[in-house]
Chain A
Amino acid sequence: MAKILIPTPLRQFTGKQDSVTVTGDTVGSALANLTAQFPDLRKQIFNDEGKVRSFVNVYLNDEDIRYLSKTDTPVKDGDAISLVPSIAGGSALGGSVLAAPPEKAAPPPEAALTKEEILRYSRHLIIPEVGIEGQQKLKAAKVLLIGAGGLGAPLGLYLAAAGVGRIGLVDFDVVDFTNLQRQVIHSTADVGRNKIDSAAEKMKGINPNVTIVKHEVALTSENALDILKDYDIVVDGTDNFPTRYLVNDACVLLGKPNVYGSIFRFEGQATVFAYEGGPCYRCLYPEPPPPGLVPSCAEGGVLGILPGTIGLIQATETVKLILGIGEPLVGRLLLYDALSMRFRELKLRKNPECPVCGDHRTITKLIDYHQFCGVPSPNQAPAAQETRMNEGDISVIELKEKLDRGEKFVLIDVREPHEYKICNIPGAKLIPLGEFPQHVGEFSPDDDIVIHCRSGVRSGKACNVLRAAGFQHVRNVVGGILAWSDQVDPSVPKY
């Protein structure tokens, strides 16, 4: 027996009763018994095909039966069934826009959940905003993760666990020891393996129901549209500017949301770009920074936990977009500072002058992003740049011989003091690159000067500073202290 609450306007059909108690084991049979008792009520609730009309939502107590078992939802004594209208509208003239409100769109039949999945996702299913339909949306969703590194690690693990049906991974890198401090999807035993295989194995381990599609390539202007087109949402977990612009432009051109995150030391950012009506990455940053100005994580370091925080903000936004719930992080750049433990928000506006998503678009296809960002393309860069010798270079072997011979020369280390503490070459004088120009006066033009850093990049800049000041005998240690560790003294730690 259940009590059906009758909306006021329908009481004319129930002899003015505001509620009617009927028999029935399910919501469907209770409603059938109600309309059998009051035939005029039937056409108010059911259409000609006997289905509940589109404008009627049926609630059992406080819950919408669409999120329970629809009309098969069992009914107990004392339950109350309410008929609640589904109402929307607006001045807009095109009637079909809301004709099927999003939550009424039926998920494809292949998204039906198995018994095992219902148990696995039970903590989702009992949230009204997710429920069976939401879980089916997750199962039907196709998400592309670009990068299986710091951001990709939490994203891959949690999106797989949440039941996103199809997850594509783009990565062509190999796991190394320096990754393990933050890329929790890879374990120590995975060092040397392809990241894509290592990541896919962990994700499958968490949730075998998820299909993982491996794209073991570098994302390029040639292949990006073809890879992205098969996905609903793209999540950017990359660490370099050419790929960020490439992902952004491809998302705008294909009309797919780009869930963006970036990290540096203790700070991170996240937002959703290229969402309908919202800004894109180019609206925020029309031009890339000059090459070398913004250090990467490899150059500047990153707190290992940070990509966990930012990656999970990206994962949260991805799941919200799939479910169509909440307020997406669109038009807002979320800034996170781990040291002060504060979140701030910047308002982002769509730039009407944006070359890719503005009113007068000049970018209508993918361009050469390495050229755009002023960095060498990976195809053009020599494979072993660090060990290639040029005039004005000195190898670590030559340096060692020079030291062993007891030659009189000046050895300078242009790294930072905290790097010097990790390891150093005995006898080297520490002058961080930023302070280097102020120290030029300390050297004599006759000095034999050798400069090193971690890998040879910063010391190359310091050499140029001296040469520009007229110094003749200046040499750069090719490969820096990393090469020293490899070729001279293996006891020196690499970082």
Chain B
Amino acid sequence: MIRIESEPWTAMVAHARATYPNECCGAMLGSIEGDEKTVHAAAALDNAFAGEQARYYQLRSEDLLAADKAARERGMSLIGIYHSHPDCGAYFSETDLKNSCPWYSFVVLSIQKGEFDHANSWLPDADQTKADKEELIY
């Protein structure tokens, strides 16, 4: 289960609306207690995909390294990645799966016509063959 506190949640939705019609991406920082993850802060990161950003995103490893470092310095952990799907559902696409990492929760925000519609969180496996839906509370 992953719970996103209201401050980071508001920031994530605002980020996704601001980049519409392109996809946004960012890191979620927080803590893990057993099976329960809590997001305390969201870090908006640059979509580095050199191409059609309306349908793709790419995170720079340097940005993730910096986000991880920032989290450690504030006593938090990098626990998840978020990105938006403009004008389509919050599914975990084949593209998402084949470029995922099983260590993190992947929150997908569906933005329809510029407004937030719904969101899901996904847990991909190590072989990038499937992703399980994770309970998401915001």
Q: Are A95 and B95 in contact (CB under 8 A)?
A: yes
Residues of B with C-beta under 8 A to A10: 103
How many inter-chain contacts with C-beta < 8 Å in the A-B complex? 120
Contacts of A18 in B (CB 8 A): 72
In the assembled complex, which residues on chain A have CB atoms less than 8 Å from the CB atom of B126?
Answer: 43-44, 53
The answer to whether A99 has its CB under 8 Å from any CB of chain B is yes
Size of B's binding interface in residues, CB under 8 A: 39
CA gap between A170 and B103 in the complex, in Å: 53
For A94, list chain B residues within 8 Å (CB): 94-95
CB distance from B46 to the nearest CB of A (A): 12
Can you list 5 contacts pairing A with B, beta carbon distance less than 8 Å?
A7-B103, A84-B64, A89-B99, A91-B55, A91-B86
The residues in B between 65 and 92 inclusive whose CB is less than 8 angstroms from any CB of A are 65, 68, 72, 77-79, 81, 83, 85-86, 88, 91
Q: Could you mark each residue 59-98 of chain A with 1 if its beta carbon is under 8 Å from any beta carbon of chain B, else 0?
A: 1001010000000000000000010111111111111111
**CB distance B98 to A7 under 8 Å?**
no
Question: How far apart sit A85 and B59, CA to CA, in the bound complex (Å)?
Answer: 9
Q: Which of A167-213 contact B (CB under 8 A)?
A: none
A98-B58 contact in complex given A82-B68, A93-B95, C-beta closer than 8 Å: yes
New contact pairs (8) apart from A53-B126, A87-B100, CB-CB < 8 Å = A8-B32, A8-B77, A62-B65, A88-B99, A89-B100, A92-B93, A93-B93, A98-B56
Chain A binding surface SS class: mixed
A55 within 8 A of B: yes
Once A55-B99, A101-B99 are accepted as A-B contacts, the answer to whether A90 and B57 lie under 8 Å apart by CB is: yes
Question: Given A18-B72, A64-B61: A90 and B98 within 8 A (CB)?
Answer: no
A84 B68 Cβ-Cβ under 8 A: yes
For the complex, what is the distance from the CA of A324 to the CA of B49, rounded to whole Å? 11
Assuming the contacts A10-B103, A90-B49, A91-B55, asked whether A82 and B98 have C-beta atoms less than 8 A apart, the reply is no
A57 within 8 A of B: yes
Residue on A nearest B55 in the bound complex, by CB: A92
Establish whether residues A55 and B100, one from each chain, have CB atoms under 8 Å apart when the complex forms.
Answer: yes
A-to-B contact residues, CB < 8 Å: 5, 7-10, 18, 43-44, 53, 55-57, 59, 62, 64, 82, 84-99, 101-102, 324
* Partner-A contacts on B (CB < 8 A): 23, 32, 49-50, 52, 55-59, 61, 64-65, 68, 72, 77-79, 81, 83, 85-86, 88, 91, 93-104, 106, 126, 128
Task: Check A44 against B57 for contact (C-beta < 8 Å).
Answer: no
Closest chain B residue to A89 by CB distance?
Answer: B96
Inter-chain CA distance A10–B103, complex, in Å, is 7
Smallest beta-carbon distance A316→chain B, Å: 17
A92 to B83, CA, bound (A): 13
Taken together as a complex, chains A and B put the C-alpha atoms of A53 and B86 apart, in Å, by 30
Within the assembled complex, what's the spacing in Å between the Cα atoms of A82 and B117? 36
Which of B23, B64, B78 contacts A90, CB < 8 Å?
A: B23
Contact A55 B128 (CB under 8 A): yes
A59 to B61 alpha-carbon distance, docked (Å): 9
Residues of B within 8 A of A57 (CB): 61
Interface contact A9-B79, CB-CB below 8 Å: yes
A64: chain B residues within 8 A (beta carbon): 61
| Nearest-neighbor residue (CB-CB) of B76 within chain A | A8
Chain B residues with CB below 8 A from A324, complex form? 50
Q: Which chain A residue shows the least CB distance to B90?
A: A91
- The smallest C-beta distance from A445 to any residue of chain B, in angstroms, reads 70
B95 touches A90 (CB 8 A): yes
CB-contact partner of B104 in A9, A56, A88, under 8 A: A9
A55: chain B residues within 8 A (beta carbon):
99-102, 128
Contact in complex: B100, A98 (CB < 8 Å): no
Contact partner of A84 among B49, B65, B83, B98, CB < 8 A? Answer: B65
Chain A nearest CB from B29 CB (Å) reads 10
- Shortest C-beta distance, A79 to chain B (Å), equals 15
Q: Which residues of A sit under 8 angstroms from B50, Cβ to Cβ?
A: 102, 324
Closest to A90 in B: B56
Checking B61, B81, B88, B98 against A96 with a beta-carbon cut-off of 8 angstroms, the contacting residue is B98
A8, B30: Cα distance in complex, Å: 10
Q: Are B61 and A95 in contact (CB under 8 A)?
A: no
- Is B64 in contact with A87, judged by CB distance below 8 angstroms? yes
Of A8, A10, A57, A95, most B-chain CB atoms within 10 Å: A8
Q: Which of B59, B79, B85 contacts A88 (CB 8 A)?
A: B59
List of B residues within 8 angstroms of A53 by Cβ: 126
- A84 contacts which chain B residues (CB < 8 A)? 61, 64-65, 68
Known: A9-B32, A87-B59. A44 touches B102 (CB 8 A): yes
**Once the chains bind, are A88 and B49 in contact (CB under 8 Å)?**
yes
